[in-house]
């Protein structure tokens, strides 16, 4: 009998990686950031990447981002003014500093008053929370970028970001 | 009895496959044809557009397949890591049924890959290609 070594090896490596990531993602308590509930925001902000929870950035960050959509991290993500306006109000109303957000004050700790950070992955708290993730894991083909939360936090779309 | 059923359903399938229902995709093609003053669209030209490399756009997205993948019936992946539904209508039948959405993504993706907007001729060719996939 010929044993298919190649597929077996690939399968095992995939399994090992998943187990590793899952173990890390499941450890610790559950951090909840309410997912986007508005269908327009979900569609427009969630086509290219996860529709990031508005509570992960302060209102001024969202205002700045929505004013610079023609250069959205290098992409032109311009929208018609009416849609942009609608999305901005949603993001601002549900922003991390809008009040009533349980985990936002923690995540936004260390952000200077008046600063409008654009990348969630550059928030001091985000950086310290992910300091143990090795480089090779970020470069894994199922991860690719730090913005790909769901690669490790499998319930990110539902708002759960376990440690 | 069972044979009868097979024969009947076969006939129904044949009739259905010959009827081309004028849906939103066909309307879009008609619009592009009018705008391009085109005599017709070509799936082969659409395929070339889909797979060829361009140098006018962004260096990290030289072709449509960079994100959509080489297999039109398989899922693609954006540079952000997010999966993209297959472009083939046979696999994702809901695709290209919202004209505004089609236009939005042609504009955005052509600019990224080609460095300019696509012409109505190119849009019609590409749409013809993926409808047949």
How close is the nearest chain A Cα to the Cα of B83, in Å? 8
How close is the nearest chain A Cα to the Cα of B131, in Å? 21
Q: Which domain holds residue B126?
A: 25-131
Mean pLDDT, residues A51-67 taken together? 97
Long-range pairs for B82-85 at CB < 8 Å and ≥24 separation?
Answer: B82/A48, B82/A49, B82/A50, B82/A148, B82/A150
The model's confidence at residue A28, banded by pLDDT at 50, 70 and 90, is very low
The dihedral built from the CA positions of residue A11, A17, A23 and A25, taken in this order, carries a sign that is: negative
Q: How many domains does the structure of chain B reveal? A: 1
Q: Note the pLDDT of residue B18.
A: 45
What is the average pLDDT value for chain A, to the nearest integer?
A: 88
CATH number, domain containing residue B108: 1.10.760.10
How close is the nearest chain A Cα to the Cα of B8, in Å? 42
Ordered by start, the domain boundaries in chain A are 5-158
Q: Note the pLDDT of residue B6.
A: 61
Name the DSSP class of B110.
H
Does B19 map to a domain?
A: no
Percentage with pLDDT > 90 across chain B: 80
For the stretch B25-65, pLDDT in tens is 999 999 999 999 877 999 999 999 999 999 999 999 999 99
* B133 closest CA partner among B77, B72, B50: B72
Place of tokens 């695709």: B95
The set of residues, in sequence order, having a beta carbon less than 8 Å from that of A36 and lying 6+ positions away, is A42, A45, A46, A51, A52, A53, A54, A90
Q: Which of B82, B85, B95, B109 to mutate to test the interface with A (most CBs of A within 10 A)?
A: B82
For the stretch A12-23, pLDDT in tens is 767 666 665 555
Determine the angle formed by the axes of helices B24-36 and B99-114, rounding to 10 degrees.
50
For the stretch B64-74, pLDDT in tens is 999 999 999 99
Does B15 map to a domain?
A: no
A50–B82 CB contact, under 8 Å: yes
B80–A76 CB contact, under 8 Å: no
> Comparing A70 with A4, which gets the higher pLDDT?
A70
- Taking contacts as CB-CB distances below 8 angstroms, the residues of chain A near B79 are 144-145
* B59 closest CA partner among B117, B113, B111: B113
Q: Is B78 on the interface with A (CB under 8 A)?
A: yes
Contact between A87 and A40 under an 8 Å Cβ cutoff? The reply is yes
Does B83 map to a domain?
A: yes
Does B13 map to a domain?
A: no
The dihedral built from the CA positions of residue A92, A93, A94 and A95, taken in this order, carries a sign that is: positive
The model's confidence at residue B91, banded by pLDDT at 50, 70 and 90, is very high
Place of tokens 């361009």: B54
């Amino acid at each position: 009998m010929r044993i298919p070594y190649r597929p077996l090896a690939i399968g095992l490596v995939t399994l090992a990686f998943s187990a590793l990531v899952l173990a890390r993602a499941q450890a610790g308590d559950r951090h909840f950031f309410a997912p986007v509930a508005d269908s327009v925001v979900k569609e427009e902000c969630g086509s290219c990447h996860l529709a990031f929870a508005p509570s992960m950035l302060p209102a001024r960050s969202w205002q700045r981002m929505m004013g610079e959509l023609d250069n959205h991290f290098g992409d032109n993500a311009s929208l018609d003014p009416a849609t942009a306006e609608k999305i901005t109000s949603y993001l601002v109303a549900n922003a991390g500093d809008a009040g009533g957000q349980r985990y936002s004050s923690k995540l936004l700790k260390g952000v200077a008053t008046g600063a409008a950070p654009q990348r969630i992955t550059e928030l001091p708290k985000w950086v310290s929370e992910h300091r143990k993730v090795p480089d090779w894991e970020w470069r894994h083909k199922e991860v690719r970028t730090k913005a790909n939360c769901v690669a490790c936090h499998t319930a990110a779309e539902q708002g759960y970001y376990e440690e | 009895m069972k044979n009868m059923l097979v024969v009947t359903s076969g006939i129904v399938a044949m009739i259905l496959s010959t009827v081309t229902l004028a849906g939103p995709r066909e309307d879009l093609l008609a619009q592009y044809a009018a705008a391009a003053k085109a005599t017709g669209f070509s799936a082969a030209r659409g395929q070339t557009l889909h797979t060829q490399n361009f140098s006018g756009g962004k260096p990290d997205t030289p072709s449509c397949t960079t994100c959509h993948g080489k297999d039109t019936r398989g899922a693609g992946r954006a540079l952000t890591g997010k999966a993209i539904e297959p472009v083939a209508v046979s696999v994702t039948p809901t695709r290209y049924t919202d004209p505004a959405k089609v236009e939005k993504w042609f504009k955005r993706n052509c600019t990224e890959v080609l460095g300019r907007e696509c012409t109505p001729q190119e849009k019609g060719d590409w749409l013809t290609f993926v409808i047949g996939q």
